[in-house]
Structure 1
């Protein structure tokens, strides 16, 4: 199967919970690009979305879209298309460069909190070589942690036996300090289905074993690319 799907999308729901839902627009792609919508006080916030037929109906089940959020400098995906369709801004971290210039929709910047959502925001990765700017989101009331790229459940992230893995490029120096301080009930990721049980323990395990399991993880990533 291809690394990134193209053509007609085939929406598959993942990560359903009382106040949110996730989906894969191209379930058969190796990258497993996951998108999420979270409802807060009747407003729906859409994170790193890939568009698909039937998406608006899925979002309407939660409420009215209030904003579309980009959590990674290379996760433009279909953010501006969906924002334009719902007549809302695209939200980008104040310190994130580049991605805002690629948007056709209006852009709103946010700092340490995402508008009035209650989501605390924090820098997961911010470096220029290689370029990588990633912002994470934590909602204390619902204990929901969103990590767009640094960790994931898709096959090429995970070493043998891992349920959650650190991105192959970050394994030598995983972002332990910034991520290990959270105790989430659910962890939503940008690649693969989320973790909805023992999320805090799974996250700490993934960060702790990132370097130790690096050889196995690289073999897994290589096999995933070769099989495509």
Structure 2
């Protein structure tokens, strides 16, 4: 299928846990673009609020979300992850949430936009900068509620992220400058990523291993990528 899937999407569920679910809309693509939804109790109404992170649309998605509750917001976690946020937000009459320090994102979304700072509205998630740089161009916000850590891009489990014996790996472009300060010491119970299946077992160890081995395992990862590209 190639790096990014085309044609008809085929919803593939991943990362099911008590309050949420993830999915990959094009299971055969190399990028393994993953999306997530987390339900949060709303004391003022009978249904839970559902927060949708970096979604790629697919048939059956609305039914999947309705199992969790009512969509309260759709979240852009990376400046390049506009994906299908506006379309899904519009269908559910919800705004798209963008970090108040992100630039060049809100104007490209054909939907109402809400800004957020250190907390993602009433979602229960703290929001923090993972990276804000011009070289390479990269604006990424992470989310953590004390149990679940959501990392849109800096960490992933897709094959092209992972070096030898890694369950999670640092993005190839950040291997020499891993986001150690932003992501160390959080001790999550589970990690959800924007590319690949999440980690629910010994998640904190997987994060620390990815960060500590990022530079050391970079040459092996780059060699693996090159071999794959030239078909060796």
> Are 1:155 and 1:224, in contact at CA under 8 Å, matched by a contact in 2?
no
Q: CA deviation at 1:181?
A: 2.0
3-state SS of paired residue (1:32): coil
What's 2:80 paired with?
Answer: 74
1:214 maps to 2:200: no
Counting only pairs closer than 5 Å after superposition, residues 1-228 of structure 1 correspond to structure 2 as 1-41=1-41, 42-140=48-146, 143-226=147-230
Closer/same/farther in 2, CA of residues 115 and 226 from structure 1, 3 Å limit? farther
214-223 or 93-102, larger mean C-alpha shift:
214-223
Q: CA deviation at 1:177?
A: 1.1
Closer/same/farther in 2, CA of residues 226 and 193 from structure 1, 3 Å limit? farther
Number of matched pairs: 225
The two structures have a TM-score, normalised by structure 2, of 0.95
Structure 1 residue runs of 5 or longer lacking an equivalent are none
Deviation per CA, 1:92-141, whole angstroms, max 9, x where unpaired? 0000001111100000000000001110000001001121000000002x
Distance 1:82 1:223 in 2: 38
Q: CA deviation at 1:86?
A: 0.4
Q: CA deviation at 1:14?
A: 0.1
> Are 1:160 and 1:220, in contact at CA under 8 Å, matched by a contact in 2?
no
Q: CA deviation at 1:222?
A: 2.7
Q: CA deviation at 1:217?
A: 1.1
Closer/same/farther in 2, CA of residues 20 and 200 from structure 1, 3 Å limit? same
Distance 1:224 1:18 in 2: 37
Deviation per CA, 1:17-47, whole angstroms, max 9, x where unpaired? 0100000000000000000000001100000
Larger relative contact order (CA 8 Å, sep ≥ 6):
1
> Are 2:162 and 2:221, in contact at CA under 8 Å, matched by a contact in 1?
yes
> What RMSD over aligned residues (CA atoms) do the two structures have, in Å?
0.9
